[in-house]
Amino acid sequence: MATRQKTSRKAAATAAAIRRARTANGRAHNSDAGDDIGLDALIGHAGYAVRRFQLWIFQDFIKTLATVDIRPTQYSVMTVIGANPGLSQMAVAKRLGIERARLVHLLDSLEERDFVSRIPSATDRRSHALHLTARGKTALAQFKRLAAEHERHVAEKIGKDNREQLLQILACFT
Amino acid sequence: MATRQKTSRKAAATAAAIRRARTANGRAHNSDAGDDIGLDALIGHAGYAVRRFQLWIFQDFIKTLATVDIRPTQYSVMTVIGANPGLSQMAVAKRLGIERARLVHLLDSLEERDFVSRIPSATDRRSHALHLTARGKTALAQFKRLAAEHERHVAEKIGKDNREQLLQILACFT
DNA sequence: AAAGATTGTTGTTGACGACAACAATTGATG
DNA sequence: CATCAATTGTTGTCGTCAACAACAATCTTT
């Protein structure tokens, strides 16, 4: 085991410990599968199901768009800017529910890759008008094709109808 | 503005910039609300809706259980251990889809608060048999009541029927 | 002109997922 | 039985992300 084991390995095993160890391994005589372990109250918790689902869906998105090296948040930023050129950073941050502090770094990387440009606003010298570059526009078109492919993966995973129901149920959050 | 503004504030504003700035602010003459900004392709992306929903649901969970200072992951760990006493760390990690490296810290904090105890396994001296302490059991009972209250918030937010549909759709991830 | 709000920026903190190593131990293979 | 591969808990690092708190520049209000 590890170096800083808290309880000595040689410590006497209590009868309770033995009993429980039996319970744990004996339940289906196959603890490797990780199955047959009850979740108890976790079943019926929307948060848990949603967390697991989001993990899966983000991993698939990242994998599907790995060739273009675009992550979900970057994609959402470019999509909103593409659909609403000239938005300020505040407006984009509010719309997507991300912090403006975080958006700074996101835009930095997108600007470095020449996908987005910050143009000083003519009406408010504090703010930037965000635009896609020409390169950004063609790139986004490709991203959307890959994202659509990812969306098909989702439909395969949970079912076409279920996916649409999901979108409808969660529409109030978009 | 900030100290390290990339483009000089005094830089001449192009006609295009002016036009777009007008577009951004003029769309509904109220850019504060953050409304009326199209999401374009983002609508119809399950990942985006799920991300927003998970953000909301986790924040509500944390808020609802703030008095007991329990986060969603900690709650899931205690719930699984409570329902399956004697599990090894590997088994818990696999079942919940968290890394065993991460579970180490989670258990450290839960053990410090005397909610969980690592008992050396009688059959495998590498592994620990995880158990709730007496204090952990009574605490978990309270956590479950608060979690149920949080779940009611979810039902209020998306609707009782929708919540159940959601759980059914995502059941394959739990 | 002064006071307060807004915008972009920087920095810090903490939770979290992913990986890579490692010692101790177990299991399998010869 | 001896050896080698696999497993388990642990430590560490890295990068992403949300949440805050400060700050300078600028706008708005009065």
Summarised one tens digit per residue, pLDDT across range B2-52 is: 444 433 332 322 223 333 333 333 333 333 344 577 777 788 899 999 999
What tens digit of pLDDT does each residue of B76-102 get?
Answer: 999 999 999 999 999 999 999 999 999
Any idea how long chain A is? 174
Distance CA B44, CA B56 (A): 19
Instruction: Check residue B32 and report its DSSP letter.
Output: S
Helix, strand, or coil here: A87?
strand
Residue B54 has pLDDT above 90, yes or no: yes
In one letter, which amino acid is B150?
Answer: H
* Domains of chain B, start order: 47-173 (1.10.10.10)
Nucleotide nearest to B9 (CA to C1'): D25
Q: Nearest CA to B64 among B157, B170, B160?
A: B157
Q: H or E segment at A148? A: helix A134-158
Provide the 10 A C-beta neighbour count for residue A59.
Answer: 10
For residue A32, the model assigns a pLDDT of 37
Q: Is B120 on the interface with A (CB under 8 A)?
A: yes
Q: Is B102 on the interface with A (CB under 8 A)?
A: no
Nucleotide nearest to B7 (CA to C1'): C8
What backbone phi and psi angles, to 5 degrees, belong to B115? -100, -30
Provide the β-strand partners of residue A128.
A120
For residue A40, the model assigns a pLDDT of 78
Distance CA B132, CA A14 (A): 16
Confidence of residue A130 (pLDDT cuts 50, 70, 90): very high
Residue B117 has pLDDT above 80, yes or no: yes
For residue A26, the model assigns a pLDDT of 32
Distance CA B66, CA B150 (A): 11
For residue A113, the model assigns a pLDDT of 95
Whether B101 CB is under 7 Å from strand C: yes
For residues A131 and A116, is the Cβ–Cβ distance under 8 A? yes
- Tell me the H-state helices in chain B: 15-26, 46-64, 72-83, 89-96, 100-112, 134-158, 160-169
For residue B115, the model assigns a pLDDT of 97
Instruction: Check residue A90 and report its DSSP letter.
Output: H
* Residue for token pair 């930023």: A77
Residue A92 has pLDDT above 80, yes or no: yes
Q: Is A158 on the interface with B (CB under 8 A)?
A: yes
For residues B11 and A120, is the Cβ–Cβ distance under 8 A? yes
Residue A18 has pLDDT above 80, yes or no: no
Provide residues 19-78 of B with CB closer than 7 Å to any strand D atom.
Answer: 51, 55, 59
For residues B21 and A122, is the Cβ–Cβ distance under 8 A? yes
Distance CA A60, CA A156 (A): 12
**What average pLDDT does range B58-85 have in this prediction?**
96
Residue A25 has pLDDT above 70, yes or no: no
To the nearest whole Å, the CA of B18 is away from the closest chain A CA by: 5
Residue B104 has pLDDT above 80, yes or no: yes
Instruction: Check residue A46 and report its DSSP letter.
Output: H
* Average pLDDT in chain B: 82
Instruction: Check residue A43 and report its DSSP letter.
Output: T
Distance CA A144, CA A140 (A): 6
For residue A35, the model assigns a pLDDT of 60
What backbone phi and psi angles, to 5 degrees, belong to B125? -70, -5
For residue A174, the model assigns a pLDDT of 83
Angle, helices A72-83 vs B46-64, to 10°: value is 110
Distance CA B79, CA B74 (A): 9
For residue B4, the model assigns a pLDDT of 41
In one letter, which amino acid is B105?
Answer: H
- Dihedral sign for Cα A96, A102, A104, A108, please: negative
Residue B167 has pLDDT above 90, yes or no: yes
Q: Is B103 on the interface with A (CB under 8 A)?
A: no
What tens digit of pLDDT does each residue of A38-86 get?
Answer: 777 788 899 999 999 999 999 999 999 999 999 999 999 999 999 999 9
